């Protein structure tokens, strides 16, 4: 029973180690425990027998000459070892020390998330947990579960399983792992992620770890882009929303059109290069199908004599205005309330608002069913246009101009503001094939757009979707249609004239549902609160400056007088904080502008645990200055917008 086997320990010792690890695993890692149960079921053994199945007899586990274990597999008739044959523990210690030295806390901050490629027997992860002093998690991923199972018979994992910093992933698809990583790390720490490989393990399945790296970088870049967009546009979005409030109050809501066009065909027109090829077909198809155009494409349609039924605009940047400049057509505009304010201002047609995010929804829903107007937010306006057509009940839905690649070597259709040759586009080009199997080039952004469609289309299993973007990328779930096949997608006997007349009448006669008077009264009160918070934050800023000077002059020594002064300042700051928190609507209004502040604030507040009291005090005071000064500026700027919006609401 106690005979020493190939792994260098007795069967009884292996069993005890396995049982202790299993108990800790069940207690702290329920999901991984279930994965092990599934593995046992797959091998047709009990969970208790799984240890014997893996580690008994002359199995692949081998004792090292000095300390720890390794794992051997036959490659070409010769054993290849996972870890050092001499001392796998020392090997792990050296590796962990080198990885931890690769992070400079003074320069890079106190947060260091590690993506570790390879779990193996886990010695290196245990060493990381022992010596990692920075904040941040360890995301350890491995293509194989069997190596980990073997380790449970000879390595004590109990402390590691209880440590919430360690997250373990076995056999995960690269995309799923990357998304789980991004969700855990969040917006503000995506730049604090390092990818490190434990080469003794990673070399065994290089292709798997290569995919992991590519997907992680892709998702982190996407998150970073979203953060950059939010930080860049946060102030502009706030300005847009308040300047657009008068248009929102006079507009219809997209939910009023839910299933309004049930069973009516719709063509979603994007601005890809192939759009010019289908213009003659679109002109004929307009008699039988609704046309929903993205803002980028609609000047191209107007020039071709095609008047769409709706035009969609969601971009908060000023550039979108050029798609609408100089247009006289009274096509209904479907707009996001945070779209660039100049677009609703110049557009002459009826207006319908559709909400792509819950920005300020907590405030605005009290004046009407604002949140009910929310549609699926996508990475591009074409994604949103598709969801609008789907919400309206349209069927089938046909894509045109949705190339998602440099079709014919250009970025956009001829006649759009953004058209240029692919060589003039500074985005990285990725070779792929189009719907006909022909070589084309695309971008990461285009692939994100396509992934969104391929995720959303299956959610409407009874909806018929066609992709008539001739020469564009194929979209899974949307049947490809060649140019000559487009007319056959619609009922030639169907005429939408009567339906369009009813739509025009509905837009004229149906009342808006945002209560303008209640909104105006509330904005008067909010303006008063903003003035109060502006005054409080100015006082908080001045007190934080005073505390910073106090610690700066102390030169490391602290006196009773200094401590009393600092304590009095902190008490007054607490009173200021309590009063600011009472202004709930102000806090709601400042949520978006604060996104960029959060990022910088937590960087400033990042103080090592071993820092002395002077350094900590100065850091806290410095962060306080940033916080209160930002609140002061934001309340002043927001109050100005509120007052301008009030003036417009009272005039209309």
pLDDT on residue 9: 67
- How far from 505 is each of 195, 333, 496, 620, CA to CA, in Å? 59, 16, 14, 61
Q: How many angstroms separate the CA atoms of 116 and 199, rounded?
A: 10
Q: Are 311 and 424 in the same domain?
A: yes
Q: Are 58 and 102 in the same domain?
A: yes
- What secondary structure letter does DSSP report for 169? E
Q: Are 262 and 121 in the same domain?
A: no
Q: Are 290 and 389 in the same domain?
A: yes
pLDDT on residue 340: 93
pLDDT on residue 74: 75
Q: How many angstroms separate the CA atoms of 355 and 372, rounded?
A: 8
Q: 486, 509, 532: which is the final residue of a domain?
A: 509
pLDDT on residue 59: 60
Q: How many angstroms separate the CA atoms of 192 and 46, rounded?
A: 42
Q: 485, 509, 533: which is the final residue of a domain?
A: 509
Q: Are 500 and 554 in the same domain?
A: no
For the record, the structure tokens of 122 come out as: 């886990």
372-384 pLDDT, tens digit per residue, is 898 988 889 999 9
The average confidence (pLDDT) of the chain is 86
pLDDT band at 464 (very low <50, low <70, confident <90, very high): very high
332 falls within a domain: yes
Q: Are 288 and 150 in the same domain?
A: no
- What secondary structure letter does DSSP report for 441? E
User: What is the mean predicted confidence (pLDDT) over 167-177?
Assistant: 90
Name which of 110-124, 160-174, 218-232 the model is least confident about. Answer: 218-232
User: What is the mean predicted confidence (pLDDT) over 602-617?
Assistant: 56
List % helix, strand, coil for the chain (3-state, nearest 5): 55, 15, 30
DSSP strand E in 339-379: where?
A: 351-353
Answer whether residue 5 shows pLDDT above 50: no
612 falls within a domain: yes
Q: How many angstroms separate the CA atoms of 67 and 176, rounded?
A: 36
Strands 69-75 and 78-81, how do they pair?
antiparallel
- How far from 482 is each of 315, 407, 449, 486, CA to CA, in Å? 31, 15, 21, 7
Q: Which residues contact 526 (CB under 8 A, 6 or more apart)?
A: 585, 586, 589, 642
Q: Are 212 and 309 in the same domain?
A: no
Name which of 246-260, 456-470, 577-591 the model is least confident about. Answer: 577-591
Q: Are 164 and 304 in the same domain?
A: no
Q: Give φ, ψ of 585 to 5 degrees.
A: -70, -35
Strands 138-142 and 166-170, how do they pair?
parallel
- Which is higher by pLDDT, 212 or 618? 212
User: What is the mean predicted confidence (pLDDT) over 537-556?
Assistant: 82
Q: How many angstroms separate the CA atoms of 503 and 500, rounded?
A: 5
- Which is higher by pLDDT, 649 or 54? 649
Q: 């969970």: which residue's tokens?
A: 47
User: What is the share, in percent, of the chain residues with pLDDT greater than 90?
Assistant: 44
pLDDT on residue 3: 44
| CA atoms within a 13 Å half-sphere pointing along the CA-CB vector of 455 | 11
Cβ count near 274 (within 10 Å): 24
pLDDT on residue 398: 97
User: What is the mean predicted confidence (pLDDT) over 354-379?
Assistant: 84
Q: Give φ, ψ of 15 to 5 degrees.
A: -65, -45
User: What is the mean predicted confidence (pLDDT) over 556-575?
Assistant: 80
pLDDT band at 597 (very low <50, low <70, confident <90, very high): low
116 falls within a domain: yes
- Characterize 554-578 residue by residue with b for buried, 16 or more Cβ atoms within 10 angstroms of its Cβ, and e for exposed: beeeeeeeeeeebeebeeebeebee
pTM equals 0.69
User: What is the share, in percent, of the chain residues with pLDDT greater than 70?
Assistant: 90
Q: 509, 537, 572: which is the final residue of a domain?
A: 509
Q: Which residues contact 493 (CB under 8 A, 6 or more apart)?
A: none
User: What is the mean predicted confidence (pLDDT) over 332-355?
Assistant: 93
Q: Are 316 and 465 in the same domain?
A: yes
Cβ 216 vs Cβ 177: under 8 Å:
yes
4 falls within a domain: no
pLDDT on residue 82: 84
404 falls within a domain: yes
3-class secondary structure, 471: coil
User: What is the mean predicted confidence (pLDDT) over 120-124?
Assistant: 92
424-457 pLDDT, tens digit per residue, is 777 778 899 999 999 999 988 898 899 899 989 9
pLDDT on residue 407: 84
Q: Are 361 and 299 in the same domain?
A: yes
User: What is the mean predicted confidence (pLDDT) over 556-580?
Assistant: 82
3-class secondary structure, 432: strand
For the record, the structure tokens of 44 come out as: 């047709």
pLDDT band at 55 (very low <50, low <70, confident <90, very high): very low
246 falls within a domain: no
140 falls within a domain: yes
Q: Are 312 and 454 in the same domain?
A: yes
Q: 23 lies in which domain range?
A: 11-223
490 falls within a domain: yes
Q: How many angstroms separate the CA atoms of 433 and 423, rounded?
A: 18
Q: Are 185 and 322 in the same domain?
A: no
Q: 């319908």: which residue's tokens?
A: 352
The domain tally of the chain equals: 3
User: What is the mean predicted confidence (pLDDT) over 94-123?
Assistant: 87
pLDDT on residue 54: 55
245-259 pLDDT, tens digit per residue, is 999 999 999 999 999
């Amino acid at each position: 029973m106690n005979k020493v086997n190939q792994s260098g320990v007795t069967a009884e010792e292996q069993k005890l180690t396995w049982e202790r690890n299993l108990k800790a695993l069940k207690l702290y890692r329920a999901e991984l425990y279930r994965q092990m149960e599934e593995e046992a079921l797959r091998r047709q053994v009990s969970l208790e027998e799984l240890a014997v199945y893996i580690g008994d007899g002359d199995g692949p586990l081998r004792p090292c000459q000095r300390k720890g274990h390794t794992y051997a597999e036959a490659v070409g008739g010769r054993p290849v070892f996972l870890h050092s044959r001499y001392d796998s523990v020392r090997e792990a210690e050296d590796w962990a020390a080198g990885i931890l030295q690769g992070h400079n806390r003074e320069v890079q901050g106190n947060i260091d998330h590690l993506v570790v490629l390879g779990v193996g027997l886990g010695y290196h992860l245990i060493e990381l947990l022992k010596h990692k002093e920075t904040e941040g998690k360890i995301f350890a991923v491995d293509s194989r579960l069997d190596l980990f199972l073997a380790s449970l018979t000879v390595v004590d994992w109990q402390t590691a399983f209880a440590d919430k910093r360690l997250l373990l992933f076995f056999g995960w698809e690269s995309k799923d792992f990357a998304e789980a990583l991004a969700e855990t790390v969040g917006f503000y720490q995506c730049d604090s992620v390092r990818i490190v490989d434990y080469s003794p393990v990673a070399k065994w399945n290089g292709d798997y770890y290569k995919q992991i790296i590519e997907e992680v970088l892709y998702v982190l870049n996407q998150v970073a882009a979203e953060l950059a967009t939010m930080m860049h546009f946060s102030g502009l979005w706030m300005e847009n929303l308040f300047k657009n409030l008068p248009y929102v109050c006079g507009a219809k809501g997209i939910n009023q059109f839910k299933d309004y066009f049930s069973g009516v065909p719709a063509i979603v027109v994007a601005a890809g290069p192939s759009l010019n090829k289908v213009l003659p077909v679109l002109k004929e198809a307009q008699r039988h199908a609704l046309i929903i155009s993205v803002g980028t494409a609609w000047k191209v349609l107007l020039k071709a004599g095609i008047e769409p039924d709706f035009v969609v605009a969601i971009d908060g940047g000023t550039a979108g205005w050029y798609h609408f400049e100089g247009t006289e057509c009274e096509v209904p505009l479907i707009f996001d309330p945070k779209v660039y304010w100049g677009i609703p201002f110049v557009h002459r047609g009826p207006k319908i608002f559709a909400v792509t995010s819950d920005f300020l929804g907590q405030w605005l829903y009290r004046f009407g069913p604002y949140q009910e107007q929310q549609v699926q937010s996508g990475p591009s306006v074409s994604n949103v246009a598709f969801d609008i057509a789907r919400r309206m009940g349209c069927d089938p839905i046909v894509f045109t101009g949705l190339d998602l690649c440099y079709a014919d070597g250009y970025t956009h259709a001829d006649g759009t503001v953004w058209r240029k040759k692919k060589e003039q586009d500074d985005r990285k080009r990725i070779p792929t094939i189009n719907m006909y199997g022909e070589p084309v080039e695309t971008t990461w952004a285009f692939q994100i757009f396509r992934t969104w469609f391929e995720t959303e289309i299956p959610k409407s299993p009874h909806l018929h979707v066609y992709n008539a973007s001739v020469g564009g990328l194929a979209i899974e779930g949307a049947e490809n249609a060649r140019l000559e096949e487009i007319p056959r997608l619609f009922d030639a006997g169907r005429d939408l004239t009567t339906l369009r007349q009813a739509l025009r009448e509905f837009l004229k006669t149906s009342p808006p549902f945002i209560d303008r008077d209640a909104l105006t009264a509330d904005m008067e009160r909010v303006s008063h609160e903003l003035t109060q918070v502006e005054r409080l934050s100015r006082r908080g800023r001045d007190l934080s400056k005073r505390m910073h000077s106090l610690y700066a002059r102390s030169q490391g020594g602290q006196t009773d007088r200094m401590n009393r002064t600092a304590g009095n300042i902190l008490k007054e700051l607490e009173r200021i904080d309590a009063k600011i928190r009472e202004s709930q609507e102000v806090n709601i209004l400042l949520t978006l502008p604060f996104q960029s502040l959060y990022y910088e604030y937590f960087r400033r507040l990042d103080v090592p645990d071993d820092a002395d009291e002077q350094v900590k005090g100065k850091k806290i005071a410095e962060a306080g200055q940033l916080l209160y000064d930002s609140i002061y500026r934001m309340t002043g700027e927001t109050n100005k917008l509120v007052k301008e919006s009030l003036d417009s609401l009272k005039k209309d």
